[in-house]
Amino acid sequence: RRPARPHRDLVQPKLLAPCSHQHNPSIRVLQWNILAQALGEGKDSFIRCPLEALSWHERKYQILEEILTYRPDIVCLQEVDHYYDTFQPIMARLGYHGNFLPKPWSPCLDVEHNNGPDGCALFYRRSRFHLHSTAHLRLSAMMLPTNQVAIAQTLRCLATGRQLCVAVTHLKARSGWERLRSAQGADLLQSLQGITTPGSGAGPGPIPLVVCGDFNAEPSEDVYRRFSSSPLGLSSAYKLLSGDGQTEPAYTSWKIRPSGESCSTLDYIWYSERALRVEALLDIPTEQQIGPNRLPSYHYPSDHLALLCDISFREGPHRLL
């Protein structure tokens, strides 16, 4: 039988002083590329993962268990090719509002017996937020539309009355496409700037932003630099797991294909550093926990790890929004 899911600790960033949560309950955000069913079975060639462990019958419960164990307030997923038949109805029954945006030409559609296109999905807990607006974005690169998408939703937090913009994306995969990813990132940042910057006048300032995604880019890539140095003031939450607060985890994805083993940091949770504060992060499993056959496996359903953090609003000087 399949082994138990490895336990992951929720840890407080070492560099942060604890603060009172009484009037400022944190928001739990989950980011995860869940591995599209059609790609996992039909395209990825994960040679060290038994085919049986990749069956949807096995995986769907593992994916849902992993998501629901942590009771997130916001769930950002990539490679969702079972939205309408699985995630939307189950998450709705559990009190989540869902939104789905398929890729224009999903590679899933090339796989025999596919379940439709894969895409990004964004869920929020209905008891925690009201929806203000939704933007479906098709990312461009040098003015040309690409096959990658993003969803951005502006929410109002019912506990604090504050607004929050949440975005989910999945950038172009594979090496050789670094410049396309960078251009997609630039396009996304520009759209998000428009969404989070209120109109003219002395308003309450920009809407705090969280961007979750599989960026398919190591921290050394141009698109990472663009995100960490944009005028939106974004910082990557998982840097706070490191001792110096400046270093990304060693991996968020680890797999073995016929072409070899690939252990890389590709997934990120970006947040507005001036307006938001990271209270806790879900630790990254050790190499030993991941095991010699890497991901996916009988005990872990995707080749990407789920990222999760608790975020709270910083007490702004005179911010009422």
Q: Write down how long the chain is.
A: 321
* Residue 61 interacts with ligand NDP (CB under 6 A): yes or no: no
Scanning residues 241 to 280, which ones bind ligand NDP (CB under 6 A)? 257
33 binds ligand NDP (CB under 6 A): yes
Question: Count of alpha carbons within 13 Å of 125, Cβ hemisphere only?
Answer: 16
User: Which CB atom, from 13 or from 119, has the smaller least distance to ligand NDP?
Assistant: 119
Q: Work out how close the CB of 194 gets to ligand NDP at its nearest, in angstroms, rounded to a whole number.
A: 24
- For residue 1, state whether it binds ligand NDP (rule: CB under 6 A): no
CA atoms of 241 and 285, how far apart (whole Å) = 12
DSSP state of 220: T
Stretch that binds ligand NDP, among 17-25, 69-77, 103-111, 270-278 (CB under 6 A): 103-111
Compare residues 252 and 272 and give the one whose CB is closer to ligand NDP: 252
CB-nearer residue toward ligand NDP: 295 or 309: 295
Beta carbons within 8 Å of 272's beta carbon, 6+ residues apart? 206, 208, 209, 210, 232, 233, 234
Of 59, 60, 82, 103, which one interacts with ligand NDP (CB under 6 A)? 103
Q: Of these, 92, 105, 190, 315, which contacts ligand NDP (CB under 6 A)?
A: 105
Backbone angle region of 260, left / alpha / beta, with phi > 0 → left and psi within -120 to 50 → alpha: left
Extended beta strands in the chain, E state: 10-11, 27-33, 74-80, 96-102, 119-125, 129-141, 144-157, 163-170, 209-214, 234-236, 253-257, 260-264, 267-272, 276-282, 307-313
- Compute the least distance from the CB of residue 237 to ligand NDP, in Å: 20
Q: To the nearest whole angstrom, how small is the minimum distance from the Cβ of residue 30 to ligand NDP? A: 17
Closest CA to 228 of 118, 215, 51: 215
Please, what is the minimum distance in Å from the beta carbon of residue 33 to ligand NDP? 5
- Considering beta carbons, is residue 13 or 107 the nearer one to ligand NDP? 107
**For residues 111-140, which are near ligand NDP according to CB under 6 A?**
none
Interaction between residue 147 and ligand NDP (CB under 6 A): yes
Instruction: Confirm or reject binding of residue 43 to ligand NDP (CB under 6 A).
Output: yes
Segment 276 to 305, residues that bind ligand NDP, using CB under 6 A? none
- Regarding 79 and contact with ligand NDP (CB under 6 A), the answer is yes
Can you tell me the distance from the alpha carbon of 320 to that of 257, in angstroms, rounded to the nearest whole number? 51
Within 10 A of 56 (CB to CB), how many other CB atoms are there?
18
Nearer to ligand NDP (CB atom), residue 73 or residue 187: 187
Contacts (Cβ under 8 Å, ≥6 apart) of 111: 38, 39, 41, 42, 43
Query: Please, which of residues 157-176 interact with ligand NDP by CB under 6 A?
Result: 172-174
8 Å CB contact between 289 and 251: no
Q: Please give the Cα distance from 312 to 193 (Å, whole number).
A: 21
Is residue 47 close enough to count as binding ligand NDP by CB under 6 A? no
Residue 167: strand pairing partners: 152, 211
Backbone angles phi, psi at 177, to 5 degrees: -115, 25
CB of 151 or CB of 240, closer to ligand NDP: 151
Binding interface with ligand NDP (CB under 6 A): 33, 39, 43-44, 79, 103, 105, 107, 110, 147, 172-174, 214, 216, 257
